Chain A
Amino acid sequence: MANVLAVLEQRGGALKQVSHEVLTAARTLADAAGGTVDAIVLGPGGVDVSGAGGYGADRVIVVESDDLSLYQPEPYAAAIVAQTQSGDYAAVVLAATAMGKDLAPRVAGRLDCPLAADVTALEWNDGPVASRPLYSGKAIAKLQLTASPCVISVRPNVFNPVENARDGTEQKAAPSETELRARTVEIKEPEKARLDVAEAPIVVSGGRGLKEAENFKLVEELADALGNAAVGASRAVVDAGWRSHAEQVGQTGKTVSPQLYVAVGISGAIQHLAGMRTSKVIVAINKDSDAPIFKVSDYGIVGDLFEVVPRLTQEIKNLRGG
């Protein structure tokens, strides 16, 4: 028997959507191994964990403290490690979010156990078998984990949440006494909140074909018309200083898997394709019919983006309006 510990994530006292994905991934392992899924969440008092049972948590351990409302690396890691020592866990599963990418290595380091990061597929064969992209997705490695426990972080937007009603029995736990060697003091929110490129269900990205920075308004207007969309950028335009690195899609930027990815004036360098090729549907608009971006696109329009994009924006507005 092998149980799984799923680390859930909250922001502002509400469970993040990605927590359902973590539970689904944890359930995959636990069901194959004949074990249970315990979930753990850290946060301020009153985090609503009622949804966790619906996605497969047999038990939800809630570690509450006003000091834990923001992600604090050391107490978060300490609480998870303490929990692993109180149960027979084959794996600790987290989301490879900004928090998870910092937290997973800490837990693996403290437990001195293997870490498989940013995993995109999971099976069980005498232990977890985890597939993860290497070289930003230019290759996929299948890894056999034989140590127990091990730590697995799963890429957001990959494991489709599956409803799976379990007890979700809530159980409070006291935070461990931990010195805060580093302390998160605040989260600065941007003034105009646009969706993060790694989280958004739709991404509209622009490249060098836009010719100059101010023409990115075409991309922004299309994103606004679509709604629920983030703006992305190619490395070339980030390096040129047109857009911030937070928006860069590709090997030295973000890897994205949205429902819809629209590439505007992006030729499709290898390092860019690596970052977006797992998008569900890809649309490319480019004047060069030989551009590599068309090779990975589901739908393409060959043409002048300065004519095509405004028309597309208008048609989508018409559609949304009617």
Chain B
Amino acid sequence: MKIAVCIKRVPDTEARIKIGADGKSIDDNGVKFVLNPYDEFAIEEALQLKEKAGDGEVVAIAMGTDGSQETIRTALAMGADRGVLLQTDVVAVNPVTVAKALAAELDGAGYDLVLFGKLAVDDDSQAVGTIVSELLGLPSVSAIGHLDITDGKGTAEREIEGGVEVVEFSLPAVLTAEKGLNEPRYPALRGIMMAKKKPLEVKPVEVSDEGIAVVELALPAERPEGRIVGEGPDAVPALIEALRMEAKVL
């Protein structure tokens, strides 16, 4: 089974975000970058599927600056076989722009499955994987929490408001992983050592991002200072009074 996993380098979820001097992007200084947390579930699923099939290849593909090589090495340390960096300094605002570059790399390469994390925790668009499926004309299911693949047919489950959708499809297909799809492995020391020797191909790509542009990036408005209504259970009546009379939510 040949599986591509498309991954992204993103700021750690514990990182404080500061606005850069241009007022349109973040200040990278002092920000720790990590493999997008949802991508870990995609990589784990790919590794398990390859292990179950008994043979195959897992290819980690990232788009971004040279810094993304480190992110690809993390995927290789988890167990992916090789990596591809679609190298560009352009930070595309339109997810379709990113999807086009990835689709061009994936098209005709013979992948049985293309996996993504359901969203990247930087731009939060939750779109690129699904757009890739449309560009390639492949079936796709987004934000899956459960997956079964047997004899070239798949069944996936995805959470919707107040229920779970069950979706059937055939391979090849594009899937995006929700948290909880599996339990991602930590790279072992041996994996980290081996990752350094695994092939990582760097391919510069031309990117043209049109029709949408950032006018301004700002920190969210601070919430007005609240107040402590009291200490311990005796403060409960004062809280209820405030929720009824001031906030009017009870």
Interchain CB contact (< 8 A) of A301 among B13, B38, B159, B228: B228
- Contact of A102 with B216 in the complex, beta carbons under 8 Å: no
Q: Give the nearest-CB partner of A189 in chain B.
A: B163
- Report yes or no: B13 in contact with A251, Cβ–Cβ below 8 A: yes
Q: Which DSSP category, helix, strand, loop or mixed, fits chain B's interface? A: mixed
Closest Cβ of chain A to B91, distance in Å, is: 11
A104 touches B127 (CB 8 A): yes
Q: Is B126 an interface residue (CB 8 A)?
A: yes
Residue of B at shortest CB range from A304? B232
- How far does the alpha carbon of A41 sit from the alpha carbon of B214 in the complex, in Å? 31
Q: Pick the residue among A132, A150, A188, A316 that contacts B163 (CB under 8 A).
A: A188
Most buried by B among A77, A109, A133: A109
Q: Is B189 an interface residue (CB 8 A)?
A: no
Q: How far is the CA of A138 from the CA of B11 in the complex (A)?
A: 11
Q: What's the minimum C-beta distance from B35 to chain A, rounded to whole angstroms?
A: 13
Q: How far is the CB of B73 from chain A (nearest CB, A)?
A: 22
Please tell me if A245 contacts chain B, counting CB pairs below 8 Å: yes
Is B212 in the interface zone, CB < 8 Å from A?
Answer: yes
Most chain-A Cβ atoms within 10 A of its Cβ — which of B94, B212, B215, B240?
B212
Query: Would you mind naming 11 contact pairs between A and B with Cβ atoms under 8 Å apart?
Result: A109-B130, A114-B94, A187-B160, A188-B165, A189-B163, A245-B180, A270-B13, A300-B229, A302-B230, A307-B233, A319-B240
Chain A residues near B (Cβ < 8 Å)? 70-71, 73, 77, 97-99, 101-102, 104-106, 108-110, 112-118, 129, 132-147, 150, 181-190, 193, 195-196, 198-199, 202, 226, 244-246, 248, 251-253, 259-260, 269-271, 277, 280-283, 289, 294-304, 307-308, 310-312, 315-316, 319
- B interface vs A, CB < 8 Å? 11, 13-17, 19, 26, 37-38, 93-96, 99, 121-128, 130-132, 134-135, 137-143, 145, 157-170, 173, 178-180, 210-220, 223-224, 226-233, 235-237, 239-240, 242-244, 247, 249-250
